[in-house]
């Protein structure tokens, strides 16, 4: 699955979004469909096309918008994964620190316990230390459970992202093929070959 996501990231490239409309730099090699197709060596008004081509153009525009939204969601999932990984890393660092301190305190507690077992006042202090150590251990266990939940959530996000990525690659290929055929028909029509 990671090969698919890395291939998709390379395939889709970096996305940049404007307020009025999402744009994707990756589609540079196949320019955006606009009311005027500036990528052709001539320009024309879409309304001057026959109704069949005009409808096909509108369908292409809708497909393009859906594809761009899908790519936007893919990138959002990717960002969520990055944030989740950073959060998980911070939580794991906290867990490791607490666990390390717990082990140090436990070792100190055990060595002190052997030395002062018979003193009444020390027994009470030792009980408090033991209780505190148990609380620390429980806290480490809870953090570990949180990390396990994060791992499960991450796996679901990865699966969703990879499935979306596979579908986007297929949809993108189909869109580009359909668009190329459409452009060829428009060129033939404008050249008077139809």
Q: Please tell me the total count of domains within the chain.
A: 1
Domain, as residue range, for 113:
2-191
What is the rounded CA–CA span in Å between residue 5 and residue 123?
Answer: 59
What are the strands, taking DSSP E only, across the chain? Answer: 15-17, 22-24
Model pLDDT for residues 1-22, shown as the tens digit of each residue? 444 444 444 444 333 233 223 3
* Residues pairing with 22 in the sheet: 17
Model pLDDT for residues 120-163, shown as the tens digit of each residue? 666 777 778 888 889 988 999 999 999 999 999 999 999 999 99
What is the rounded CA–CA span in Å between residue 59 and residue 156?
Answer: 32
Residue 34: predicted pLDDT: 36
- Compute and round to an integer the Cα radius of gyration of the chain: 30
């Amino acid at each position: 699955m990671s090969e698919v996501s890395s291939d998709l990231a390379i395939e889709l490239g970096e996305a940049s979004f404007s307020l009025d409309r999402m744009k994707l730099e990756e589609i540079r090699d196949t320019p955006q469909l606009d009311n005027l197709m500036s990528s052709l060596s001539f320009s024309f008004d879409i309304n001057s096309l026959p109704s069949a081509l005009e409808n096909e153009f509108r369908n292409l525009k809708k497909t393009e918008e859906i594809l761009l939204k899908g790519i936007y969601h893919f990138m959002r999932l990717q960002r969520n994964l990055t944030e989740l990984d950073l959060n998980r890393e911070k939580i794991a660092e906290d867990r490791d620190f607490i666990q390390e301190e717990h082990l140090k305190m436990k070792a100190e507690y055990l060595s002190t316990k052997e030395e002062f077992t018979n003193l009444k006042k020390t027994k009470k202090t030792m009980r408090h230390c033991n209780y505190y150590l148990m609380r620390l251990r429980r806290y480490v266990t809870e953090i570990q459970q949180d990390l396990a939940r994060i791992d499960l959530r991450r796996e679901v996000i990865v699966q969703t992202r990879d499935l979306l990525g596979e579908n986007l690659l297929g949809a993108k290929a189909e869109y580009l093929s359909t668009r190329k055929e459409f452009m060829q028909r428009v060129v033939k029509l404008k050249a008077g070959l139809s």
